[in-house]
Amino acid sequence: MTQDNSKIAIEALNIEDAEQELERLALEVTRHDEFYHGNDKPEISDAEYDALRRRNLGIEQRFPSLIREDSPSKKVGFVALDKFEKITHAIPMLSLENAFNDEDVHDFAKRMRRFLNLSVTEKMPLTAEPKIDGLSLSLRYERGRLVSAATRGDGATGENVTENAKTISDVPTVLAGDNIPDVVEIRGEVYMSHAAFQDLNKRMELEGKPTYVNPRNTAAGSLRQLDSGITATRPLNFFAYAWGEMRAMPAGTQMGMVEWMKACGFRINPLMQSFENIDELLKYYRKIEKDRPELEYDIDGVVYKVDNLGLQGRLGLKSRVPRWAIAHKFPAEKAWTILRDIEIQVGRTGALTPVARLEPVTVGGVVVTNATLHNEDYVKGLGSKGEVLRDGKDLRIGDHVMLQRAGDVIPQILDVDLSKRPEGGEEYMPLTKCPVCGSHAVRDVNEKTGKADSVKRCTGGLICPAQVVERLKHFVSRGALDIDGLGDKQVEALYENRSNLDSEGPVGILNAANIFTLRERDAGAFKKLKDMDGWGSTSATKLFDAIDAVRNIDMYRYIFGLGIRHVGEQTAKDISKTYGDIETLNIAMLNLNDQQVYDELLSVDGIGTTVIEALKEFFSEPRNLDVWNRLLLQVNPKPVEQVASDSPVAGKTVVFTGSLEQMTRDEAKAMAERLGAKVSGSVSKKTDLVVAGPGAGSKLKTAEDLGVETTDENGWFVLIGRA
């Protein structure tokens, strides 16, 4: 009779126990499967069933040589999908600002103290923990049970990887403990340990399959398998360190929250600590840096977070990063390689960027074959402010160059070994023409300084095929319209057929509006899209459906997608909020020469003359206007939803002036925006409220002259219900 090993922790099993346990689990799971599929009443709960499968996986991960032919991990029960569904995060998944040296960390602390107006004697404890080099995952629990798991994606929407997350033994399917809030979203990092990575590569080698490059990419690839049976054979781990939506908050500090997660059954990083001053943080950073080689997983820095959640809330966010956290990165890794060629890339605004083609080299665990050379000055050894780079050494084809790669930052060329320069290596010649369309290449002159810019541009505009293609790629890209099945390759293929807009033959696109008529044109065309060479298995119908789905896109994504110079995502959001809907925006854009329209836009926080001039330029170009008008016939972007519509200042335009005493100006602005108000820098008839502190001058007077409502700081707090 075999002994009962079912209670022994996985870590404590020896190889014989493990073998017996795997046999027991295989039989047990099969028995429950039969019950389940035979429509009998299951003997155990789903959670208990999951626990059996996960225990089986956990043991297999420790003893891969013991995996049985009839193992539950090899059988159905793991779902294979055609593609991942999307999940919109209830609360966006943020990224972190980076600090590269001690000074950056001191600045970070000073900035926060200034924002909160803390005196030197007031304490602001910060937590410190390793920054895991994996990929983030958000786990949603309802009434204590795992209901979904999503990757970060673009921060707003990720991929539904629930089935795969269930195969990770560190991810509980049921939360432990009492008083679990009804909705709990736990966020953290999925990673692969060094040991697991090496084991996996050994297995791959034995099977004669290609090996993996580094644990991070392998973890990412494993989590994004459509067949969760494959994910199940990849030993992944998960550290919990953050949260999304929470129906109730079980603790008031970062540390308290993480300890609570531990009590719920998550693994948390044992190296996390809290400190009261910056020197202690920096000491911690150096200790972790020293211990880094001994850790069993990859890290690329240390993350500092304000411990007190009340302060975190006051600090809030600036676009995609919290003000209350920062990642202190480790210095980048370096490697020598050879510069094989310098090619020119044409960007969507015509920027001509030299790109280095390199002899492939591994830096920081990743094979690098290209590096941006930024501009001609950079190739010559000059920085964007005219400073000397690489001791002024220029770059020539054939040079031995030193490459630096820091985490997700673009690789840089830091040095050239002149002693190895091949004879006859020629100096790089500045461009006079666009290599694609032959138009003149010029440098912009900076209006403010009168100096030539470091970027050289193709002056061809919409004549330049490269610019047009890049604009189209941008239009359909992830932050913009994000059309499924329409990636760079497909855009290029459709643009190749641009001469064929409505006659026989494979359909094409010449501009963004043509995308939306693809379905009808394809139906009438002689040769259908799906027969097109290189189209792969993407079914045309699916693509057309994806195109239809974005006709009602968020307004800011549509504006961002137009690719107007200086109009990034944040500016696109500011513009959408200002006009609210596309018709109002349309009228304003066609009347930017009207002083009132101009001034109104200028008063929007975050929008300056550079942006307005760029909008003017865009909307005065007849070809742009033509596409814009055609697009308006095809798309119907969603009007901006008023956030926090129950707040008394939602949708109102507020101006803060004079000195504020209970909050800083930045904090006031962030608070008003959180409550759905627009914050403006100048007073006009459109202003709804002026909050004036002591010393308020002309703005207060203008408000009184115009009959705009005014109040003081206390009045503001009463108004928003926080007095």
Q: Are strands 653-657 and 678-679 parallel, antiparallel or unpaired?
A: parallel
**Which of 22, 112, 190, 325 touches ligand IVH by CB under 6 A?**
325
Q: Read off the tokens for 422.
A: 């091949």
**Which of 8, 35, 95, 347 touches ligand IVH by CB under 6 A?**
95
Q: Which is nearer to ligand IVH, 243 or 628 (CB)?
A: 243
Provide the β-strand partners of residue 443.
456
Instruction: Tell me which H or E stretch contains 691.
Output: strand 689-692
**Which of 126, 132, 346, 612 touches ligand IVH by CB under 6 A?**
132
Per-residue binding string, ligand IVH, 140-169, x by CB under 6 A, is ------------x-----------------
**Which of 21, 129, 170, 298 touches ligand IVH by CB under 6 A?**
129
Q: Which is nearer to ligand IVH, 126 or 132 (CB)?
A: 132
Find the shortest distance in angstroms from Cβ 137 to ligand IVH. Answer: 9
Does residue 189 bind ligand IVH (CB under 6 A)?
yes
Residue type, 592: L
Give the length of the chain.
Answer: 723
For ligand IVH (CB under 6 A), the number of binding residues is: 15
| Residues 295-324 interacting with ligand IVH (rule: CB under 6 A) | 303, 322
Q: Which is nearer to ligand IVH, 131 or 457 (CB)?
A: 131
Nearest to 154 by CA among 445, 509, 560: 560
Q: Which is nearer to ligand IVH, 129 or 470 (CB)?
A: 129
Q: Is the dihedral of CA 192, 198, 200, 204 positive or negative?
A: positive
Contact 264, 235 (CB under 8 A): no
Find the shortest distance in angstroms from Cβ 129 to ligand IVH. Answer: 5
Does residue 268 bind ligand IVH (CB under 6 A)?
no
**CA–CA separation, 37 vs 44, rounded Å?**
14
**CA–CA separation, 699 vs 684, rounded Å?**
9
Segment near ligand IVH (CB under 6 A); pick from 15-23, 124-132, 171-179, 577-585 = 124-132
Q: Which residue is nearest to ligand IVH (CB)?
A: 136
Q: Which is nearer to ligand IVH, 189 or 667 (CB)?
A: 189
**Hey, is 60 helix, strand or coil?**
helix
Find the shortest distance in angstroms from Cβ 332 to ligand IVH. Answer: 15
Q: How far is CA 166 from CA 175, 210, 232, 242, 620, in A?
A: 13, 27, 9, 19, 54
Q: Which is nearer to ligand IVH, 152 or 456 (CB)?
A: 152
Catalytic residue among 131, 166, 577, 652: 131
**CA–CA separation, 75 vs 393, rounded Å?**
60
| Residues 600-639 interacting with ligand IVH (rule: CB under 6 A) | none
Answer yes or no: 131 catalytic.
Answer: yes
Q: Read off the tokens for 659.
A: 């000195």
**CA–CA separation, 57 vs 658, rounded Å?**
63
Find the shortest distance in angstroms from Cβ 325 to ligand IVH. Answer: 5
Find the shortest distance in angstroms from Cβ 252 to ligand IVH. Answer: 17
Terminal-residue alpha carbon distance, the chain: 73
Provide the β-strand partners of residue 669.
none
**CA–CA separation, 404 vs 409, rounded Å?**
9
Q: At CA 330, angle to CA 325 and CA 331, rounded to 5?
A: 135
**Which of 18, 22, 94, 679 touches ligand IVH by CB under 6 A?**
94
Segment near ligand IVH (CB under 6 A); pick from 90-98, 106-114, 211-219, 524-532 = 90-98
**CA–CA separation, 134 vs 140, rounded Å?**
19
Find the shortest distance in angstroms from Cβ 374 to ligand IVH. Answer: 23
Contact 220, 226 (CB under 8 A): no
| Residues near ligand IVH, by CB under 6 A | 94-96, 129, 131-132, 136, 152, 189, 241-242, 303, 322, 325, 327
Active-site residues, by number, are 131
